[in-house]
Amino acid sequence: MAINAQSLPSQQDQTAQGIGIILISVMMMAFADAVVKLVSADLTVWQVFFARALFGLPVLFALARIQKTGLAPQNLQWALVRSVLLLLCWLALYTSFTVLTLSVAAVAVYTNPIITTLLSAALIGERVTGRQWIGVFIGFLGVIAIIKPGTQAFSWYVLLPLLAAALYSLAMIITRSKCRNEASLGLAFTLQSLFLATGGLAIILLSTIDLSAETKTAFPFLLGDWTPMASREWGLMALLGLLSAAYFMGVARAYQIAPPQIIGTFDYAYLLSAALWGYLFFAEAPDALTLIGMILITLAGVLVAS
């Protein structure tokens, strides 16, 4: 999957607009992720994928009708590659919610601007300055502070949001290099359709496989049975569908119209929102090392954006 700078269309960046869009998008995303963590004890990840897309797709259809535009992407191959990476990203992140606090998972996954900077240089030829390399190193120190390797506080589950960060970064590089001229509505439609299809197929597959009760109990969020949903759960899924339709479009648009290393930095608004919702929903308060890691990673992002 070769990506090179020559594949970038000549298009003037709209950095200020991209920053505004990403700020709004990640604030909605943090709230949606808090809702997913809230229901993760009762529903499977496949139910969340399926039910959320079930409500999100009609929103996209309505927007397409209002705008009198189509939903099919021009380059389906790259739109699908991007969507698969994002689906795997959210699968890893949501699975980590069953064990990690929302703030720790958020800080770990928001190493993605650092990874985005490295991938931007390696894959699409974006210039990385010495100051940005210093930011990458500081961000690495922040990660160490968060995951606490070699201590009793270390959990292998923290690798899941770090994996999610790498997948997200690669998806955003593809957005910038291969999907820059795609309509954000079409990219969001492709992603929501993949969530619906994958969630539905996984639900059907799990219902036909005779897994032991011990296996289902060990990994309920991944391998559990379909849980009947009451009006509360369906209402939350409808809210998630609306939010996901909005932020899928917003993130795609922001990375299309502005340099990924800059937009990636303003992704850090997610950290503040995630910490707020984690406190309000779950009474989670990050410890001192996590706060230090959050500060270091945020500083790294500022340097990377320079």
What are the tens digits of pLDDT across the range 25-83? 888 888 988 888 888 888 899 999 999 999 999 989 998 898 888 888 888 999 999 99
What is the sign of the dihedral through the CA atoms of 19, 246, 235 and 34?
Answer: negative
Spatial separation of the C-alpha atoms in residues 306 and 291, rounded to whole Å:
23
Q: Is the pLDDT of residue 11 over 60?
A: no
H helices, E strands: number in the chain: 14, 0
pLDDT reported for residue 9: 44
What is the sign of the dihedral through the CA atoms of 60, 87, 159 and 113?
Answer: negative
Mean pLDDT of 253-278: 77
Q: Is the pLDDT of residue 1 over 60?
A: no
At residue 197 the predicted structure's pLDDT band, cuts being 50, 70 and 90, is: very high
Q: Is the pLDDT of residue 118 over 50?
A: yes
With a threshold of 0.75, does the pTM exceed it? yes
Cα radius of gyration (the chain): 19
Cβ pair 181, 78 in contact under 8 A = no
Q: Is the pLDDT of residue 178 over 80?
A: yes
Mean pLDDT of 109-128: 73
Tell me the one-letter amino acid at 75.
N
Angstrom CA distances, 60 to 46, 65, 71, 100, 236, stand at 21, 9, 8, 32, 18
Mean pLDDT of 110-121: 74
pLDDT reported for residue 6: 41
First to last CA, the chain: 29
Q: Is the pLDDT of residue 12 over 70?
A: no
More confident residue, 6 or 163: 163
**For the ranges 154-158, 250-254, 289-293, the one whose mean pLDDT is highest:** 250-254
Question: Nearest to residue 107, comparing CAs of 306, 289, 251, 247?
Answer: 289
What's the CA dihedral at 93, 94, 97, 102 to 10 degrees?
A: 60
Tell me the one-letter amino acid at 86.
L
Residue with tokens 């690495």: 140
Count CB-CB contacts under 10 A for residue 303.
Answer: 22
- The CA-based angle 268-256-132, given to 5 degrees, is 45
